[in-house]
Structure 1
């Protein structure tokens, strides 16, 4: 009887969800919270929030609060951008505020398309770069990456304004992989950051059925795991007023039936 009730509750959640998996994209408003570990030591948590758009203006935010012993680091990052033709995102404003142990700093970037220039300020240094429609900021580029994966694009190369400089990043697909973590079991695609040296390696896993939401990231220095970031919970919403249930809770309920 208990197994039947659990199955029925899972079915009800799935069909009651206004943001079904079939309709989820990278731009579906959502919140995702992650646990940040240094090796096996928990440092804290981080959260991504994509708000419902105001017309064609989107806002993506990142907040983190991590620490180890007497060391602390808090960051608040915000990106404002628009959606253009062919699912291409164009950044408008980007800001970072960092506080905690050591010097605090701010970073800002303004993508002035009409002036054909990008204004950047990192700490106390200012810079200007020629405007380019293929130039992103470090936060919203994650959403562009996810949109490109949903469009089955093969070239995963991105240029962004970061810390007062223009940096290039390239990625490759490693393969498909099932990821089992505390929040659930996810079918994912595994990626690797392309680097010339193997002294530093970064891998991350994204779930196609969740609009390529990141599930896990691991970073290695000289073969030793340094960072391990795992999805704790998430919530998609079809509109600002219609919230979808956390898929991690559905996955957990479904897995409980398998052991009975």
Structure 2
């Protein structure tokens, strides 16, 4: 699930009547050991069969500060998410960073602002970026799937797989209120990192909480504060 809120599992709402993504906005608190250290904001805009998902987070902890923004566009027709562009910017403690990706589904290539030439990766069917896979996973949850495996091109242009599995159901208390959820975990190749996510079936599997740890120590806990479906 990457760094703080980058490549997290925040997933958009689905129209129950049409099985199409709906525009929405959501706010989250970013916690560490029970104390609030920042906030995150997500917005999905849907125009015909194309979606734009934007994200911003602002975190302050002791002398550390981190501001991030992500923006992705992708085709979202017929239950298949196809990434088109991805932009990530990071500012704060340490060097500033900016990454961009462009996906060409006809030539099966990916362009990056870090390279003059197409990336040397093995194009896989269903390839996603660090945001678009979240939308695809949300659709897969609605379809009743229990295991998930997505080929990803990350912000640095590296190909990898994100794998998840369902653990069960759980009712959790959030700034938003009490919510019945489906609990999932990301499957890593080792036990050093842990990542958990909670999705609310009553909200069309909106992700309402995400927790990440490393070697058993909590890194952050992201919890839903508010959301609104846009007409």
Q: Which category of TM-score, normalised to the shorter sequence, fits these structures?
A: 0.7 to 0.9
For 1:159, what is the secondary structure of its paired residue? strand
Match of 2:101 among 88, 95, 109: 109
**Structure 2 length-normalised TM:** 0.86
Q: Which runs of 5+ in 1 are unaligned?
A: 1-18, 240-260
Alignment of 1:155-166 (within 5 A): 155-162=147-154, 163-166=156-159
Alignment CA distance shift 1:122-1:67 (3 Å): farther
Q: Which runs of 5+ in 2 are unaligned?
A: 1-12
Per the alignment, residue 35 of structure 2 pairs with 41
Alignment partners' CA distance in 1, 2:92 and 2:166? 36
Per the alignment, residue 244 of structure 1 pairs with none
* Paired residue total: 218
**Structure 1 length-normalised TM:** 0.77
**1:176 is the counterpart of 2:149:** no
Per the alignment, residue 52 of structure 1 pairs with 46
For 1:144, what is the secondary structure of its paired residue? helix
Per the alignment, residue 81 of structure 1 pairs with 74
Q: How big is the alpha-carbon RMSD for the aligned residues of Structure 1 and Structure 2?
A: 2.4
Please state which structure has a larger fraction of its residues in helix: 1
Alignment partners' CA distance in 2, 1:81 and 1:198? 33
The structure that has the greater radius of gyration is 1
Alignment of 1:16-165 (within 5 A): 22-23=16-17, 27-53=21-47, 55-85=48-78, 87-122=79-114, 127-162=119-154, 163-165=156-158
* Runs of at least 4 residues off by over 4 Å: 19-26, 122-126
